[in-house]
Structure 1
Amino acid sequence: MTIRRILATAVAAAVTTPVLLLSVTPAFADTKPPAQTQQKPSIAELELAAAAAQAAYDNAVAAEDAAIEALKAFHSDTHPLVMAVAAAKAVAADAATAKSEADQAVVDAQAVLDGLPETATEAERTAATTALTEAEGAAATAAAAKSAADAEFVEAEDTCNDARVEAARAIGQAQKVTKQALADKTAADEALAKAKKEAEEDEEDEECVSVPETRLTTVITGLPTTVVAGTKVNFNLRVTNGSDRTMDEVLPFAYVHATDTSGLDSIDDLVRVQWSSGSSSKWKTVDNKRYMDAISPLKAGAHVDVKMRLTIDASAPAGNGVTFVAGDYVNDDGTCGGNPDLEGYEFMIAAAGGKPGRTDDAKPGKTRPNTSDINTQTGTSATPASGTLAATGSSSATSQLALASGAAVAVGAGAMFVVRRRKANSHV
């Protein structure tokens, strides 16, 4: 569970439930009764499962390769079924030749008999008739042999074709098995990688020694008390290290919440906060789930200004809003923490077409820390001199955070909530 998700839940509950004291602790995410909580598999078990999935995938790939080779073999003259077809074809061809010769012998014998002159002797006629009879017998035998050879050839060819079709079908089945095995392997690998990452984060959490630091302050300036729907306003977030030591990584955080004038209906989806580092003109949206890019490092007594922009959708009704800001730090020596107080800057939302009226800066819901004696690290620039906003997103060190935030008053609700920060890159 992240500070951002807990914060959003706490503010929404506070806005819709007057005079509510909401305590959000690490146990907040554990909503299941103990009896319903399933035991997570250990890394050793997941490693065994991943190894088994890998072996199954390897076997499936090998089976698919074998099936492909089995089909390719039918293109070879040495395949037994191909050879059987060739042999049957040769026998059928010989039988056809023998039948043709036998049929011709019948024709010749008939011609001899028909060509006997009237003066032919009885013996000559008997001999010719006998030759014709024998030729006809031989032709019948040759015809039967040809029919048998043809049948054997057809059977051999059908057997070969059926085997070829079965081999092709086997490839299709093997490919399905391989696809499923790959999906199982991918799932097992991802589960193992996730478990290892969580274990590493847990180790980092254990290594982080939480030390709250009230002198790490976040102050908003330039945010007007009234913002008209359909407009954008720019303001500034100053993150100040008022301590006497350099903070290796400082992680600013902002959260915006808004309701209609009744205070009961959230219009968060119509309100957007963006930020930009001094080294980039690109605006990035605060999604209430991630810290802004890390300031690395922030020297003792120095500050960094982060450009901010609030946009109210033109369809937003008149209402109230509050922008919360906070900051956490992580040091290379394993210490981490943040200011236990959460600043909330209230503003009113005027319907589209209205006038902003007062343009005074919004004030925090509690006394703003005194930073008059703090030396600037950045001068008038929004880019720190030796500390910079990282360009690669939230710091990897945020997984070490397990800090306790303070209390703030939610706008229009008269409600107090207590927020406990947990790992910065974990989720509910």
Structure 2
Amino acid sequence: MTGTRALSKYWMLTNDFTQNPFPVLEYVRRESPVRELSMPGGGRAWVVTRYEDAKAALADPRLSRDIHVHYRLMSERTGRTLTPPPEEANHLANLEPPRHTPLRRAISFAFTPRRAEALRPRVEEIADDLLTRLAGQPRPDLIAGYADPLPVITIAELMGVPADAWPDFLRWSTALRTHSPTESSGVLDSSIQELSGYMAELIARKEREPGEDLLSALIHADEERRLTSTEILSTGFALMTGGNDTTASLVGGVIAALLTHPAERAALLAEPGRWGKSMDELIRYVSPISNALQRVTTEPVELGGVSIPAGEVVIISVLSTNRDPHQFPNDPDRLDLDRHKPAHLGFGFGIHYCSGAHLAKVITEIGARRLFDRFPDVTLAVDPSQLRYQLSPVVRPLEALPVRL
């Protein structure tokens, strides 16, 4: 590529970009690090690709994550009145202060590193059970049979949901992730209604019969931390979608990376104590999310020397920031388990930093470690060039990961 005209106006939305985004992102970072992107339904967005600009954007209160601001903008652009469902409009990922602050405080107790570490034995049991189911298959798919269900079952149990409900959780989670608020097929509405009904019934049961789980803790919290029923329901939605999708993408991505990096995999197997220390570099390299949740400018903002008007969508490319050579010198495209303090943006930054980051690390570490401990000779069943990624605006999941155990 020799000039900015080499890219189409939909440059980030193509299948070619989805499958191999890094050469394009390297070019954009160098030539126009805050770049315009046309949207298929009309309008535009601004894509931020450099680490320092992204970090500034994620911390800037003029770039709003408030879902109501986003829906007002979509209403203006489509000429239709669109309103967010209450299940999505009342959790901290979709709100700004002052409403964001008490919600963050209310659920932070559930996601401390200590609590995540306490879940290790159960996550190991779930991983081992899933691997046992795969053991007799000639060419199992580690996405459908392992990376997807592992976080779903873990988070289901964390919330007090019976683990045998994970097929429905997967179906709802997929629908909520892949369908646009403006689509008219009814799939999104149906999934929201089904999940809402299930969660409302579960919350009512926990009100009568509390257990040792997250939902019970939220429902029966002291007055200072108590949430409304709608906020608890919305928090359940956030865990089901954001928690499941990003962690499943991370588990599959880390396993694929180690399958294609035999020396690094051998080092981890030879020295199990390195797993925890290596997780941030693995997360940086894999980048389970392609872009941070979109922001909308509430005032004019300057980023990377570009003036962005108010009322514009801003997309922060985590895939790009996590390969920015100014932040990660010494070949950022290389997986280096000895890289010094890889301060990636894979879990965000600022007040919207992922509450469940440590739990995601625990699930991913256990998922990869148990697989390679149990099947040390596991290999890809296809050439790495045949692996394909799903087209998604936020997460970057593999479509499938066929292996020979």
TM-score with structure 2 length normalisation?
Answer: 0.20
| Structure number with bigger Rg | 1
Whichever structure has more strand as a proportion of its residues is 1
Whichever structure has more helix as a proportion of its residues is 2
